[in-house]
Amino acid sequence: MRIRTLGCSGGIGAGSRTSAMLVDADVLIDAGTGLGDLGLDELDAIRHVFLTHAHLDHIAGLPMLIDANFDENFETPVTVYAREETIDALKKHLFNDVIWPDFSKIPSIDRAMLQYVVCNPGDAITIGHREFKAIDVSHSVPSLGYTVQSSSGVFAVSGDTKTNDTLWPALNACDDLRVLVVEVSFPNEQEALATKSGHYCPQTLSRDLERLRHEPDIWITGMKPGLEARIITQVTDAIPNRNVRMLSIGTVIDV
Q: 251 burial class (0-12, 13-18, 19+ CB within 10 angstroms)?
A: middle
Given this model, what pLDDT does residue 190 score?
A: 97
Residue 42 contacts residue 25 (beta carbons within 8 Å) = yes
Q: Stretch 79-85: mean pLDDT, rounded?
A: 98
Cβ neighbours, 10 Å, residue 54: 21
At 189, the pLDDT band (50, 70, 90 cuts) reads very high
Given this model, what pLDDT does residue 71 score?
A: 86
Given this model, what pLDDT does residue 248 score?
A: 95
| Res. 118: pLDDT tops 90 | yes
Say what percent of the chain tops pLDDT 70. Answer: 100
pLDDT tens-digit series, residues 9-30: 999 987 899 999 999 999 999 9
What is the number of domains present in the chain? 1
Given this model, what pLDDT does residue 179 score?
A: 98
pLDDT tens-digit series, residues 119-178: 999 999 999 999 999 999 999 999 999 999 999 999 999 999 999 999 999 999 999 999
Residue 206 contacts residue 236 (beta carbons within 8 Å) = no
What domain range is 121 assigned to? 2-254
| Res. 205: pLDDT tops 90 | yes
pLDDT tens-digit series, residues 37-71: 999 999 999 999 999 999 999 999 999 999 999 98
| Res. 232: pLDDT tops 90 | yes
| Res. 227: pLDDT tops 90 | yes
At 115, the pLDDT band (50, 70, 90 cuts) reads very high
Given this model, what pLDDT does residue 1 score?
A: 95
Given this model, what pLDDT does residue 74 score?
A: 87
Given this model, what pLDDT does residue 99 score?
A: 97
CATH number at residue 61: 3.60.15.10
Task: Say if pTM beats, i.e. exceeds, 0.95.
Answer: yes
Helix axes 202-209, 228-238, angle to 10 degrees: 30
Given this model, what pLDDT does residue 207 score?
A: 97
Q: Stretch 64-83: mean pLDDT, rounded?
A: 93
Given this model, what pLDDT does residue 163 score?
A: 97
Residue 10 contacts residue 253 (beta carbons within 8 Å) = no
Given this model, what pLDDT does residue 86 score?
A: 98
Given this model, what pLDDT does residue 73 score?
A: 82
